[in-house]
Amino acid sequence: MARRTVDTVDVRIDPKNSGSILQLMANVYRNIYSVIIEYVQNAADDTARQIKETGKLPPSPLKITIDIDGKTGDISILDNGRGIALEALKKFATDPCSPTIDKNGNTIRAGIGVHTFRSYFKKATFRTKSKGTKLLELTFQRGDENLGGNKIEEIGGEEEDFPYESGTQVVLSGVAPTNKKPYKVSTRYLKNKIEERFGQFIGKWLEVTICVDGKEDMVCKGSDAMVSGSQTVRVSV
């Protein structure tokens, strides 16, 4: 079969009203750019750890492609990193508020990571593949009623449509901002925010491209980049 369920995970966090807590934490993200950058940061963090572990740059740059659907506002964040192993994927549910810890045991960043989608989207799908393994897929949906029974599926055959031998794709879909926040994505502003955060790494071991409807719109540069042209995606909700 092309798909088979390899595990089922429940989102767990104390106290009982875990969904409400995750939603309250997600609401801290007051603009869509912070949400997008959170997922870019996750991919960059893993490559940064790889560099520290090996003491050298990866053989090829980490490529991150942000693709915005001009009609629906859905967003895809695709990278060619190491991918996420099954046990780590499970922790998206069982340990949703885990901080990023460095090798000395110090907390680098604290947040809800993969659950930031809840601030702007109804659903987040994570598709990930490590070298020599099949594609894994896990979907979370917003709402307390969707905390349990989240399937992790292994995908093979013709359905295993992934452009890299390893990497991760996050698909944020169903635009529905909480607290009546506006939904507007300017590619120019997004480019600026990414360059502010990651400019020191872009051109060394990181490449970030912003697309609209699958077509390249902007390529992020180093910290001294000049920006010209942009597109803005607005969705009425």
pLDDT of residue 103: 53
Look at the block and give the residue holding tokens 């767990």: 12
pLDDT of residue 226: 41
pLDDT of residue 185: 93
What is the pTM for the complete model shown?
0.85
Instruction: Name the token pair of 28.
Output: 């801290």
Residue 202 DSSP symbol: B
Report residues of the chain scoring pLDDT below 70.
1, 12-25, 94-112, 144-145, 159, 224-237
Concatenating the DSSP letter of every residue in 215-226 gives EEEEE---TT--
Query: Measuring CA to CA, which residue among 133, 177, 188, 169 is closest to residue 27?
Result: 177
How far apart, in Å, are the Cα atoms of 17 and each of 34, 70, 94, 159?
25, 35, 15, 36
- Name the CATH topology of 3-234: Heat Shock Protein 90 (3.30.565)
pLDDT of residue 227: 45
Q: Where are the domains of the chain?
A: 3-234
pLDDT of residue 106: 53
